[in-house]
Amino acid sequence: MSLAAEAFVSQIAAAEPWPENAALYQQMKEEQILLSDNASCLAVQAFLQMCSLPVHVVCRPNAEYMSPSGKVPFIHVGNQVVSELGPIVQFVKAKLYLQWCDDATVEEITHPRYGSPYPWPLNRILAYQKQWEVRRKMKAIGWAGKSLEQVLEDVDQCCQALSQRLGTQPYFFNKLPTELDALVFGHLFTILTTQLTSDELSEKVKNYSNLVAFCRRIEQQYFEGRDKDSSSTSRFSKGPLLR
């Protein structure tokens, strides 16, 4: 179950109003958070904004270990903690592959960012431990043996399906945003704005102009001007940033 769905079917939603001090926990934005985690965090933030539910973003270097499920983001709502996002499967697989199975990305980006909060040699030990866990999962789902070209083709097919479903509508279900819009935004926006060793992944998304326009629309409507310290003021115009 997704984080948003879990929150709204829980006793919190049924019996208590949404608290003003709800907090969303994630890793440090500038130097630590990885592509897939940033996408999940953005997706949750977008969905809560769409529902007019306030949430304060809290960045912690040990957020992954604070989470009950071991995954980010997680939200502290009242006396409850809800965690884990049910993401778009193909995007998550592709991003995990690039982060942990593409050797150039692993050495230049993933290991340094993942281990950044910790001293040597713990930073290297934890990074290799995480890499081993992810590669074991990728092997189990048949992705360990894929080539980069095959992964990019999977992403392109996913983008094509999303683009056809969106069409010329502002949102996937026409005029009103839903959880699906938040999920798609979180993953696409992160791909478009994150610096990797190659632009091949973001170029796949940029081939679909309605998806890029969709991301701009949600960024402008739900993020710009709301938090000058943590959100961009047009990350599309300023280039690939990760915050």
3-state secondary structure of 122: helix
Tens digits of per-residue pLDDT, 68-124?
778 888 888 777 676 655 434 566 678 789 899 999 999 999 999 999 999 999 999
Query: Element (H or E) spanning 236, and its range?
Result: helix 235-238
Q: Is the pTM of this model over 0.75?
A: no
Tens digits of per-residue pLDDT, 13-28?
444 567 788 899 999 9
3-state secondary structure of 105: helix
Tens digits of per-residue pLDDT, 168-190?
999 988 788 887 899 899 999 99
Q: Output the 3-class SS for 58-74.
A: EECCCHHHHCCCCCCCE
Given this model, what pLDDT does residue 227 score?
Answer: 55
DSSP state, 171?
Answer: B
